[in-house]
Structure formats: C-alpha cells, structure tokens
C-alpha cells in the first residue's frame, strides 16, 4: 500500500467528518422553525405577556411550534415568543396564510395535525380535557384564562 495515499484518505475523512455529522442532525433546522415575520405577514396578532402568569404560560407552551387551541368554542393557533414576552395568535384563516407563505418562501411546512376535518372538533375537545386535567393536577401550570379573549383582536370574517 501507498502510505501517501492512506494519509490523504485519512485527512479527507477527518475534513469531511464534521460535514457528515451536520447532515445527521435534527430534522428541524432554524429555517424550518416558525418565523415571527411570516406569522405577522399571515395576519397573526400579538398579545404582550404583561403578568407573571402570562409569562409562565408562555414558558409552558411548546417552544418553536405553532399549537392549535380551542377557547370559548373557537379554534386558534398560538406561537409563544418567550424572549419578547408575547404570544402570536391566529385563526385557521391566518394559519393557512402562514403555511402558504412558508411554501412560497421554500420552507418546509410542519406536519399536519393527526386529524381530518371531521375529527378536528373531537381532537380539540380531547385537548381541552387534557388541559383541564393538567390544570387540576398541577396548579402551577396556568390556564388560558390568564389571557384576554382572543375574539376581541379584530378578526375579519
């Protein structure tokens, strides 16, 4: 065997190792995470977290993820911005606009929730039951009652 050839192969492997390790990283890259500018452009409203309870609730929500919630019989999508102490809130209309903007900008869309249109209400009711159970089991987790009603944010039908 040629010692020079082996040395070149070894150096190439060492140089390419960090690149290969980067390819095996988590599926969510910063580009695939929700973009606050896209949420705003899609029509999401922001609510400032001004009370300690609201700030605790922001920290409890899934970070870097738009989450579906149902409040007072209405369906909303929320995204917490803990660093800026604010909550992005949108209706299904704004969420669809957000997904369209992600597609337009070449960003991958998050996987759709595990429901079809007919079972969406059942799913949301189950989520409400889970939240009620969590809130009764652990009073340190604030409920959605710490936020003002989302319906008063000026949504256009």
pLDDT over 80 (residue 145): no
Angle at 99 between CA 134 and CA 35, to 5 degrees: 75
Q: Which of 155, 156, 148, 154 is nearest to 87 (CA)?
A: 148
Q: How many CB atoms lie within 10 A of CB 90?
A: 24
> What is the arithmetic mean of pLDDT over 49-69?
89
- Residue predicted with more confidence, 116 or 46: 46
Domain boundaries, the chain: 31-146
Instruction: Say what the pLDDT of residue 12 is.
Output: 44
pLDDT over 60 (residue 139): no
> What is the arithmetic mean of pLDDT over 115-135?
60
Q: Are 21 and 130 in contact (CB under 8 A)?
A: no
> What is the arithmetic mean of pLDDT over 105-122?
67
pLDDT over 90 (residue 45): yes
- Residue predicted with more confidence, 18 or 102: 102
Sheet of strand 86-90: strand arrangement: 45-48, 86-90, 74-81, 67-71
pLDDT over 90 (residue 89): yes
> What is the arithmetic mean of pLDDT over 35-49?
93
% pLDDT > 70, the chain = 57
> What is the arithmetic mean of pLDDT over 40-48?
95
């Amino acid at each position: 065997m040629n010692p020079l050839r082996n040395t070149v192969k070894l150096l190439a492997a060492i140089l390419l190792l960090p690149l290969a390790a980067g390819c095996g990283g988590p599926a969510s890259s910063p580009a695939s995470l929700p973009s606050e500018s896209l949420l705003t452009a899609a029509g999401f409203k922001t609510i400032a977290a001004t009370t300690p309870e609201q700030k605790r609730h922001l920290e409890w929500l899934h970070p870097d993820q738009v989450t579906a919630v149902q409040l007072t019989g209405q369906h909303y999508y929320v995204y917490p911005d803990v660093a800026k102490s604010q909550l992005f809130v949108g209706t299904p209309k704004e969420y669809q606009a957000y997904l369209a903007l992600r597609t337009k900008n070449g960003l991958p869309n998050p996987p759709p929730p595990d429901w079809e249109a007919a079972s969406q209400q059942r799913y949301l009711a189950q989520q409400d039951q889970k939240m009620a159970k969590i809130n009764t089991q652990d009073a340190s987790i604030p409920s959605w009652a710490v936020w003002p009603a989302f319906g008063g944010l000026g949504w256009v039908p």
